[in-house]
């Protein structure tokens, strides 16, 4: 067992866990942040996606100890002063979900993409999202939501100028 100091959603969290614990298990079982889901445990489905220093990462394959000193963001940490992230809003507007089990991972992968590429092409969206599975088949809506968030973001910035 060892004590880890993690920065999660902008807050410092101390957890006592064994060093091999996955970030997913620490987030869910120790910090009660259950937005990231277990789907496969081999980084193949993306349900566990979180941001580590702004980049999408599979928390099931990430050792919790390896993210000490880095900023971890989960879906619970996207809201700012009661306002949802534009991609969360776009998921609602497009109704880009059915059972919702993959949604948090989809949103985090999408947010990771938009941070890196604010105005992605369809091909860039498909490439970035290929590792996330929606078994209900809402892919077209998820792509639409990412585009909407990207365009809205651009429109908002344009409007401010």
Partner 1 sequence: MIERLTEEIGLEPERYELTEGPAYHFELGEMQRRDFFRVFGGGVLIVLALNDSLAQQESGGGGRRGGAPRPVEIGAWLRIAEDGTVTAYTGKAEVGQNIRTSLTQAVAEELRAPVSAVKVVMGDTDLTPFDIGTFGSLTTPDMFPQLLKAAAAAREIMLDLASEELKVERGSLLSADGKITHPATNRSLSYGELSKGQKIMKAIGASSLSPREGWKVAGKSLRKINGRDVVTGKQRSTPDIKLPGMLHGKVLRPSAFGATPASIDSKEAEKLPGVIVVRDGDFTGVVAPNEGTAARAVAAIRAEWKTTPQVSAKELFDHLRKTPNPPAKPPDTLAESLAAAHQKLERTYAVAYIAHAPLEPRAAVAEWKDGKLTVWTGTQRPFGVRSDLASAFRIPEASVRVIVPDTGSGYGGKHSGEAAVEAARLAKAAGLPVKLVWTREEEFTWAYFRPAGVIDVTSGVNKDGVITAWDFHNYNSGNAGLRPVYAIQNQRNEFHRSDSPLRQGSYRALASTANHFAREVHVDELAHSLKIDPLEFRLKNLKDERLRAVLEAAANTFGWGKSKPAANHGFGIAGGFEKGGYVANCAEVAVDRASGKVKIVRVVTAFECGAVVNPDGLKNQVEGSVIQGIGGALFEAIDFENGKILNPRFSRYRVPRFSDMPKLETVLLDRKDLQPAGAGECPIVALAPAVGAAIFHATGVRLRSLPMVPNGLKL
Of 25 and 71, the one with the shorter C-beta distance to partner 1 is 25
Binding status of residue 16 toward partner 1 by CB under 8 A? no
* Residue 156 touches partner 1, criterion: CB under 8 A: no
Burial bucket for residue 147 (CB in 10 Å: 0-12, 13-18, 19+): middle
CB within 8 Å of 143: residues ≥ 6 apart: 122, 125, 126, 129
Q: Are strands 2-8 and 11-17 parallel, antiparallel or unpaired?
A: antiparallel
Interface with partner 1, residue 104, by CB under 8 A: yes
Sheet with 71-73, side-by-side order of all strands: 11-17, 2-8, 71-73, 49-52, 55-58
User: For residue 71, what are the CA distances in angstroms to 3, 39, 123, 154, 155?
Assistant: 17, 23, 29, 26, 28
Instruction: Please pick, from the candidates 7, 44, 63, 66, the single residue that binds partner 1 as defined by CB under 8 A.
Output: 44
Give 136 or 155: the residue with its C-beta nearer to partner 1. Answer: 136
Residue 26 or 67: the one with the smaller Cβ distance to partner 1 is 26
Residues 115-154 interacting with partner 1 (rule: CB under 8 A)? 125-126, 129-130, 132-143
Q: Is there binding between residue 38 and partner 1 (CB under 8 A)?
A: yes
Told to check if 66 binds partner 1 by CB under 8 A, we report: no
Assigned token pair, 105: 């991972």
Interface with partner 1 (CB under 8 A): 18, 20-21, 25, 28-29, 32-42, 44-45, 47, 74-76, 78-79, 84, 88, 91-93, 95, 97-104, 107, 125-126, 129-130, 132-143
């Amino acid at each position: 067992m060892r004590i880890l100091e993690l920065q999660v959603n902008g807050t410092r969290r101390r957890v006592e866990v064994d060093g091999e614990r996955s970030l997913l298990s620490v987030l869910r079982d120790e910090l009660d942040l259950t937005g990231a889901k277990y789907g496969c445990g081999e980084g193949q489905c993306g349900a566990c996606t979180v941001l580590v220093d702004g980049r999408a990462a599979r928390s099931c394959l990430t050792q919790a100890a390896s993210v000490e000193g880095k900023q971890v963001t989960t879906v619970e940490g996207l809201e700012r002063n009661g306002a949802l992230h534009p991609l969360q809003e776009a998921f609602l507007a497009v109704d880009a979900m059915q059972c919702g089990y993959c949604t948090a991972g989809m949103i985090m992968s999408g947010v990771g993409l938009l941070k890196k590429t604010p105005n992605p092409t369809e091909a860039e969206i498909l490439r970035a999202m290929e590792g996330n599975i929606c078994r209900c088949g809402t892919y077209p809506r998820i792509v639409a939501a990412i585009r909407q968030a990207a365009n809205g973001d651009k429109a908002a910035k344009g409007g401010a100028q």
